Amino acid sequence: MCRAYGCKIIMSVYTRRRPSAGSTAIPFMITILISLIVFGGVALYFYNKLTAKSKELPMMQSAISSISDEDINAILFVLDPDAEDKQTAVMMLRFDPVRKQIFTLGIPLDLQVTHEGRSMSVGACYTDYGLEPLKNAVAKTLDQEIDRYILMDDSGFEKLVNLIGNVEYIVPIKDTGLRPSETSVMLDCKQFETLLTSNHYSSEEERSTVIGMSVAQLLNQCIDNDQKRSSTGSNDSSKDSDPSKKVVWKTRVARNLDSYFSTVINTTQTDITAMDFSNHEHAIRYVFEYGQAPARGMGVVCDLQDGIVVPNQVFLDNLKIAFYQVSVNGEGTDETNGEAAEPDGEATEQSEAAE
């Protein structure tokens, strides 16, 4: 009797200690579900990142495929201010989408050029003969091809800057609305125009350097800010004016280039045609979308020969190296060697300080 009773007690103890099948399955299933959620979420995150990059790569390849040396263009910009106490600002912009580079070269008004066999200054050539002769004369003097020109007055310049955005720059002079600064300051349209057209510089060479460098700074700031906004999702690429395009442009300028071109054409005097824009618009969008601080600014380095201002020959040689990545004797240069391709070291140092 006691032995039987003891067996029952032992069996009851084992019975109480043995977990039921259901109580084991529930925690096990919960563990599996949590694992699926955690690891599945991580896997989904990386899958989305990889597929997003795989979609972006074909878009970039599509953008690159149609770009060639024919898209490289040089434009002569002339800012003719309304105020009589200001000076005309002249600049050559060279756009190279193949290398994702933009060069802005300020040109002194006292630089000597030749038109119809006569030697004269850049300022005299513009005043006496106009834009087309000036474009050809500057191209000949610099030994560079210049394709088109754009002439702006105060209104046209203001609209162009409003499209791109204001510039931050170290002010080197004192003039109306300006005072010298040791650090970069934000300039509105009026201040920026004064910076470019002021007659308070020590020389035209100094002013031309500021013209080239400040415009490069303006372009780089515009491109950098647009790319930062697009990377954080601030720009809605679904608003692209032409959704049928294979490439969905995300940056502001690339997306709105059509309307910006119309604004420039309607507010300036230029020989750029709608066909010109149509032929090269894809390349322009590409640089604004993918270029990393592509603009490099400088001014023409000059020598004084018998009282005549002429371009320094070493500068012209270095300009060819910078533009074409080819030395003056026709041999290739290392594109990664910034020192070999730098036409104006002083201008570069000032530009880096301005940034």
- Output the 3-class SS for the chain: CHHHHHHHHHHHHHHHHCCCHHHHHHHHHHHHHHHHHHHHHHHHHHHHHHHHHHHHHHHHHHHHHCCCHHHCEEEEEEECCCCCCCCCEEEEEEEECCCCEEEEEEECCCEEEEECCEEEEHHHHHHHHCHHHHHHHHHHHHCCCCCEEEEECHHHHHHHHHHHCCEEECCCCCECCECCCCCCEEECHHHHHHHHHCCCCCCHHHHHHHHHHHHHHHHHHHHHHHHHHHHCCCCCHHHCCCCCCCCCCCCHHHHCHHHHHHHHHHHCEECCCHHHHHHHHHHHHHHHHHCCCCEEEEECCEEEECCEEEECHHHHHHHHHHHHCECCCCCECCCCCHHHHCCCHHHHHHHHHHC
pLDDT of residue 254: 82
| Every domain of the chain and the residues it spans | 24-65, 66-354
Res 62 pLDDT > 90: no
Q: Which two tokens stand for residue 137?
A: 């004369």
Residue 182: Cβ-neighbour burial (10 angstroms; 0-12, 13-18, 19+): exposed
Q: How far apart are CA 267 and CA 231, in angstroms?
A: 32
Q: How far apart are CA 170 and CA 189, in angstroms?
A: 15
Q: Which two tokens stand for residue 97?
A: 């989408």
**Maximum average pLDDT range among 56-65, 288-297, 337-346:** 288-297
Res 64 pLDDT > 80: no
Res 10 pLDDT > 80: no
| pLDDT class of 15 with cuts at 50, 70, 90 | very low
- The residue count of the chain comes to 355
Res 245 pLDDT > 50: no
Percent of the chain whose predicted confidence (pLDDT) is above 90: 51
178/324: higher pLDDT: 178
pLDDT of residue 34: 56
pLDDT tens column, 108-144: 999 999 999 999 999 999 999 999 999 999 999 999 9
pLDDT of residue 17: 47
pLDDT of residue 230: 61
Residue 186: beta bridge partners?
168
Residue 326: beta bridge partners?
332
Percent of the chain whose predicted confidence (pLDDT) is above 70: 66
CATH number given to 66-354: 3.40.630.190
Res 239 pLDDT > 50: no
| pLDDT class of 188 with cuts at 50, 70, 90 | very high
Cβ contacts of 54-57, under 8 Å, gap ≥ 24 = none
Residue 114's φ and ψ, nearest 5 degrees, are -125, 130
312/281: higher pLDDT: 312
Predicted TM-score (pTM) of this structure: 0.73
pLDDT of residue 249: 62
Res 270 pLDDT > 90: yes
| pLDDT class of 326 with cuts at 50, 70, 90 | low
By mean pLDDT, which of 36-45, 219-228, 276-285 is the weakest? 36-45
Neighbours of 348 (CB within 10 A): 17
Residue 88's φ and ψ, nearest 5 degrees, are -65, 140
| pLDDT class of 347 with cuts at 50, 70, 90 | very low
Q: 287 and 97 in contact (C-beta within 8 Å)? A: yes
Q: 99 and 112 in contact (C-beta within 8 Å)? A: no
**Side chain identity, residue 307:** G
Q: 168 and 221 in contact (C-beta within 8 Å)? A: yes
Res 77 pLDDT > 50: yes
Rounded to the nearest integer, the mean pLDDT of the chain is: 78
Residue 237: Cβ-neighbour burial (10 angstroms; 0-12, 13-18, 19+): middle
Q: Which two tokens stand for residue 214?
A: 């400040």
